[in-house]
Amino acid sequence: MKCFIILSAAVALAACAPYHNLIANHNYHWAAPVVSSQYHAQDELGQYSYGYAGGPSAKHEVKTWDGVTRGGYSYIDANGLVQTVNYISDPVHGFRVAATNLPLGPGSAPAPVVDTPEVAAAKVAHAAAHVSAKVAVPVAVAAPVAVAAPVAVVDTPEVAAAKANHLAAHAAAGGRHRRSVCRRPVAPVAAPVALAARASLRLRTLRCCYAYAASLGSARRQQPVPRSG
């Protein structure tokens, strides 16, 4: 029995020897625990202060007797960057904040992108190739387009015959009109002297008639009127 116990103990020590050597030959580093702290204090005047620190974030805030609150906090965002926020609040100006995670306004444009030396060299080479391609390719000049002369309008036989008949009828009508004008008698034009003599003769005739009529009237007035017996 004793021999069996001693043999079992020897086998157990032999089995544990590799694990002991493995632990002895490796250096294990244990992470130090994260130390965090926090505080809080206040009084009867409404003043207070509190804060905490430790881990991925920290914060502190203080309010004084005049109603002004000041504070700030910081944290690690999803990109692994530390973002910091500081703020102040009072009854006159309200809440104001300054932070590294605020979006940029219209007046604060991001810095312009600067080309790397490789990109700048590539741009210069591209511009030079573009200019050389323009010079190498000849510019094709379009040949002038010949404009065809207008085709003269040719009358059909029917139209030509109608025009000839119209011209002949027009010429015949013009000849008849000229002959009728030439055959009309032309009234003689009295000379100015003959007209003046004729007017003077008429005037003398009228005067004689007037004188004769006047003499007949006076003779009638001078005759005695017969008296009845």
d(CA 36, CA 51): 11
The yes-or-no verdict on residue 44 having pLDDT over 50 is yes
Q: Does a structural domain hold residue 202?
A: no
Contact 53, 36 (CB under 8 A): yes
Quick one: average pLDDT of 75-102? 91
Structural domain tally of the chain? Answer: 1
Q: Does a structural domain hold residue 70?
A: yes
The yes-or-no verdict on residue 165 having pLDDT over 50 is yes
Annotate 108-137 with b (16+ C-beta within 10 A) or e (fewer).
eeeeeeeeeeeeeeeeeeeeeeeeeeeeee
Q: What is the pLDDT of residue 23?
A: 46
- How many other C-beta atoms can be found within 10 angstroms of the C-beta atom of residue 63? 18
DSSP lists the bridge partners of residue 72 as: 60, 86
Q: Does a structural domain hold residue 62?
A: yes
Q: Does a structural domain hold residue 73?
A: yes
Give one DSSP letter per residue of 10-45, joined into a string.
HHHHHHHHHHHHHHHT----PPPPPP-EEEEEE-TT
Q: What is the pLDDT of residue 191?
A: 56
Q: Does a structural domain hold residue 83?
A: yes
pTM score > 0.85 for this model?
no
Q: Does a structural domain hold residue 87?
A: yes
Q: Does a structural domain hold residue 50?
A: no
What residues make up the domain containing 79? Answer: 56-99
Q: Does a structural domain hold residue 209?
A: no
pLDDT in tens, 99-149: 998 887 666 666 667 778 888 888 888 888 877 777 665 666 677 777 777
d(CA 24, CA 104): 57
